[in-house]
Structure 1
């Protein structure tokens, strides 16, 4: 997917989410984010999109002003739909005004800028729509190809140099001596090999033997790797190898604070 395709999907995913939460109970708990209410979830999705819109639209190479400009969501749930859909539309417009090589700060440590944020907003929308589905008892579905893209976003973000350097707890837990985890989507083209080294987690796109292999539908992989569905409730996934290694990995898939 390219930047334009990611933003089109962000609008689609956000519009679906907006329809689900429109007028619903603001204090409804979000089981997949135990410290959040539905209002917290809406606030997070819309506010993050607006911060990224500022970063990209104003070509910021330093993030403090965008973070300081955090815009909280409406307290009235009947205003949520418009607030969310407007925010996604504004994000799409901001990305349309730049090119992939426009200098924009991002936390990955790789200087990925605009492409990083287009994919990150897409991954955010996919995962948080799953949160809304869990809170509202709504069935969550995501087609295989976009699910692969969302898994890619999750894994690439989690294994980025910037994440390693800014989350010492994650770095301490993930240090290793070459232990490998292989994730394989069976309904679309998507394979990832994560290798735990002493100073980073290396992510490769390859089919190979590993200490633990997890295979199954891409959407199920996304939900389990993002901790939106316990592995025990994902019967379509097949796990072979070192289950303790997989459990450790999933335990630390928590890059969203309180998520």
Structure 2
């Protein structure tokens, strides 16, 4: 997917999310984010989209000024739908005003902030819609191709240089000497091999024999890797070193407590 496709998908995912949460109980606990209420989830989704819209639209080279203008969600849940769709529209306008090579802060440690943020917002929208589904008893459906793209975002973010350098607990736990995990979607084109090295987790988009091999539908891969579905509640086939896989899942926490 390219930047425009990611941004369009963000708007689509957000519209569904907004319909689900509209007028619902703000205090409802989010089972997939144990310390969050539905209000926290809505606030996170909408506020992040607005902050990214500032970063991209204003071509910011560091995040502090965008973070300083954090805009909380309305307390009245009957206003959430409008607030969320307006935030997604702000993001669409911001990305439409730039090109992929426009300089924008890139927390991954790369130098492609616009593509990074379009993909990251898409991954956020897909995963947090799963949180809303779990909270509100909604059926979670995601086209396999979109689930592959969201899984790519999750794995690429977690294995980025910026994540390694800024999350020392993750680096300490996942550093290794060549141990490998392979993830393979069975209903769409997507497979990844993660290799644990002393100074990084290297990610390759290729088939490989590995110490752990995880195969199954793309949506199950996304929800298990993002810790939104326990492996035992999925249809994934997990072969090899289960302890290594469990260690990996334990540290797949992009947002603290989420």
TM-score normalised to structure 1 length: 0.99
1:42 aligned counterpart, secondary structure: helix
Displacement of 1:111: 1.4
Structure 1: which 4+ aligned runs deviate by more than 2 Å? none
Q: Secondary structure at the match of 1:94?
A: helix
After TM superposition, give the deviation of residue 63 of structure 1 in Å.
1.0
What is the alpha-carbon root mean square deviation over aligned residues?
Answer: 0.5
| Aligned-partner Cα distance in 2 for 1:60–1:133 | 34
TM-score (norm 2): 0.99
Q: What is the correspondence of 1:32-47 to structure 2 with a 5 Å cutoff?
A: 32-47=32-47
Q: Aligned equivalents of 2:227 and 2:21: distance in 1?
A: 21
Tell me the residue number matched to 2:252.
253
Match runs of 1:143-182 below 5 Å: 143-182=143-182
Match of 2:134 in 1: 134
Count of residue pairs the alignment pairs up: 258
SS across alignment from 2:213? strand
The runs of 5 or more residues in structure 2 that have no matched partner are: none
- What residue number does 2:236 align with? 237
Separation in 2, partners of 1:130, 1:187: 19
Give how far 1:132 is off. 0.3
CA distance in structure 2 between the aligned counterparts of 1:179 and 1:70, rounded to whole angstroms: 40
Deviation for aligned residue 1:65: 0.1
- 1:6 equivalent to 2:6? Answer yes
Offset at residue 98 of structure 1 (A): 0.2
The separation in 2 between residues aligned to 1:258 and 1:120, in whole angstroms, is 18
Q: Report deviation, 1:168.
A: 0.3
Query: Residue 257 of structure 1: CA displacement?
Result: 1.6
Give the Cα–Cα distance (whole angstroms) in 1 for the partners of residues 221 and 62 of structure 2. Answer: 34
2: CA distance between counterparts of 1:213 and 1:144? 19
- Equivalences for residues 50-89 of structure 1 within 5 A: 50-89=50-89
- Taking the aligned partners of 1:25 and 1:38, their CA distance within structure 2 comes to 7
Unpaired runs of 5+ residues, structure 1, are none
SS in structure 2 at match of 1:95: helix
Cα deviation code 1:175-222 (max 9, x no counterpart) = 101100000000000000000000000000111100010000000000
Deviation at 1:151, TM superposition (A): 0.2
Matched, 1:90 2:90: yes
- Distance in structure 1 (CA, Å) of the matches to 2:257 and 2:242: 25
In structure 2, C-alpha distance between the alignment counterparts of 1:247 and 1:5, rounded to whole Å? 33
Q: Deviation of residue 3 (structure 1)?
A: 0.6
SS across alignment from 1:207: coil
Equivalent residue, structure 1, for 2:48: 48
CA distances 1:30-55 after superposition (whole Å, capped 9, x unpaired)? 00000000000000000000000000
1:190 aligns with 2:190: yes
User: Cα deviations across residues 121-163 of structure 1 (Å, max 9, x unaligned)?
Assistant: 0000000000000000111110000000000000000000000
**Local SS of the residue matching 1:201:** strand
Look up the match of 2:28: 28
Deviation at 1:106, TM superposition (A): 1.6
